[in-house]
């Protein structure tokens, strides 16, 4: 289940009579089975409890919680609807239904439930906290920031509020505010690795990569499994042109999580920059297999294939990149250069025309840069041909 706030079991009112005794026993039995890992047996007991006491919200509540923990959110939502029908004024029920709605991508429904939670228990931090997370996920950073301000007012000793507000402040380029919040989190939990990651990310964005690495290493000191810290050290080392060290960091991340696609991608960057072109191409393959199937990956792999003279493979990758992002200026430009290398000048001219349509200013800059390099005798023959075609494209556009 998507966990947002603390594990809160809503309070329900159960009218106990002789007919409910067996139902209560089944609820207890179901809880024990769930704790023992018998999830199906747990659900069977809760269902039987509901059959015995159909007007008692407890059975629906316990089954809803169990279903959501198993990722069966639609079924869980049906049970939470029934719980709220039977116990509409229990704030915790709205809190948990809101979390399930959030898991299902129903932002409006989730916000409605969190707001009802706040209405029923305005002094409880959890409703404000979960609404803040939902607002943040929906892109309402201003609303989320206000909610986390309220969380901190209600629970000044709860580190979670400072952490989430710190993340938003960092995203909003309020570096001082973010540093203050991560600092407060560390006062409450001196070994909070994620706070060190947050501080490291701020230093990274400031361009102070060595200081960023120091913070990421602090995170690892307190949590050796902090995968984001290893990853960000690798990113920082690329910036510092320490490619061998960066590759080692990405190896560590991949050992920890083989499906961490961004690590293959960034390891490919590091390998390419270090001269290991075949290794880089292989890592781009792994990046795609890991699900990071983006235009930039195909573009970068195509560029390396050009260098290794796999021209047909490069043409294919450029085509795939443009299918994913038809506005990719650099892809049209590079494929145009490649067509010139193959003496396919008509295809090259078409690509240059498309690139010019996307970014006329940058296209013109490329032309003048090529002219300057030609004057310095730094331009290969196919790029000389390409520059002529690019000048032709400019003239046709200005005619």
Q: Which tens digit of pLDDT belongs to each residue from 193-218?
A: 999 999 999 999 999 999 999 999 99
Calculate ∠ Cα 197-203-206, nearest 5°: 145
pLDDT at 18: 52
Looking at the domain covering 1-121, what would its CATH class be?
A: mainly alpha
41 DSSP assignment:
H
Q: Are 72 and 46 in contact (CB under 8 A)?
A: no
Q: Which tens digit of pLDDT belongs to each residue from 29-42?
A: 999 999 999 999 99
The full set of domain ranges for the chain reads 1-121, 327-399
Q: What is the pTM of this model?
A: 0.83
The span from the CA of 214 to the CA of 193, in Å, is 12
pLDDT band with cut points at 50, 70 and 90 for residue 372:
confident
The span from the CA of 79 to the CA of 69, in Å, is 13
Task: Give the rounded distance of the alpha carbon of 246 from its chain centre.
Answer: 21
199 is written with which tokens?
């501080």
- Picking from 374, 364, 361, 359, the residue whose alpha carbon sits closest to that of residue 394 is 364
111 DSSP assignment:
H
Q: Are 256 and 224 in contact (CB under 8 A)?
A: no
The span from the CA of 277 to the CA of 264, in Å, is 14
Output b/e per residue, 350-372; b: 16+ Cβ within 10 A. Answer: bbbbbbbebbeeebeebbeebee
Q: Which tens digit of pLDDT belongs to each residue from 289-347?
A: 988 889 999 999 999 999 999 999 999 999 999 999 999 999 999 999 999 999 999 99
């Amino acid at each position: 289940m998507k966990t947002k706030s603390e594990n809160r079991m809503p309070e329900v009112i159960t009218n106990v009579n002789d007919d409910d005794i067996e139902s209560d026993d089944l609820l207890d039995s179901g809880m024990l089975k769930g704790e023992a890992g018998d999830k199906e047996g747990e659900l069977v007991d809760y269902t039987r409890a509901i059959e015995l006491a159909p007007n008692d919200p407890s059975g629906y509540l316990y089954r809803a919680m169990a279903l959501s923990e198993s990722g069966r959110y639609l079924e869980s939502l049906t049970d939470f609807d029934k719980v709220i029908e039977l116990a509409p004024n229990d704030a915790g029920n709205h809190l948990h239904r809101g979390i399930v709605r959030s898991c299902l991508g129903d932002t409006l429904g989730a916000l409605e439930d969190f707001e009802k939670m706040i209405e029923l228990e305005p002094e409880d931090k959890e409703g404000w906290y979960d609404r803040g997370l939902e607002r943040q996920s929906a892109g309402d950073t201003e609303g989320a920031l206000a909610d986390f301000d309220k969380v901190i007012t209600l629970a000044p000793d709860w580190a979670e509020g400072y952490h989430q507000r710190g993340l938003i402040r960092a995203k909003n380029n309020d570096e001082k505010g973010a540093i203050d919040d991560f600092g407060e989190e560390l006062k409450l939990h001196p070994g909070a690795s994620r706070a060190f990651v947050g501080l490291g990310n701020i230093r990274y964005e400031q361009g102070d990569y060595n200081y960023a690495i120091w913070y990421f290493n602090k995170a690892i000191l307190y949590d050796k499994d902090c995968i984001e810290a290893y990853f960000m050290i690798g990113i920082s080392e690329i910036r510092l042109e320490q490619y061998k060290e960066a590759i080692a960091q990405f190896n560590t991340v991949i050992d920890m999580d083989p499906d961490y696609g961004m690590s293959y991608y960034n390891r490919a960057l590091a390998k390419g920059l270090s001269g290991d072109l075949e290794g880089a191409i292989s890592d781009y393959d792994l990046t795609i297999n890991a699900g990071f199937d983006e235009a930039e990956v195909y573009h970068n792999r195509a560029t390396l294939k050009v260098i290794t003279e796999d021209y047909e493979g490069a043409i294919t990758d450029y085509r795939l990149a443009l299918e994913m992002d038809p506005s990719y200026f650099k892809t049209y430009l590079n494929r145009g250069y490649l067509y010139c290398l193959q003496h396919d000048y008509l295809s090259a001219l078409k690509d240059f025309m498309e690139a010019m349509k996307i970014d006329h200013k940058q296209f013109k800059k490329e032309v003048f840069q090529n002219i300057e390099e030609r004057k310095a005798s730094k331009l290969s023959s196919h790029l000389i041909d390409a520059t002529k075609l690019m000048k032709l494209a400019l003239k046709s556009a200005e005619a």
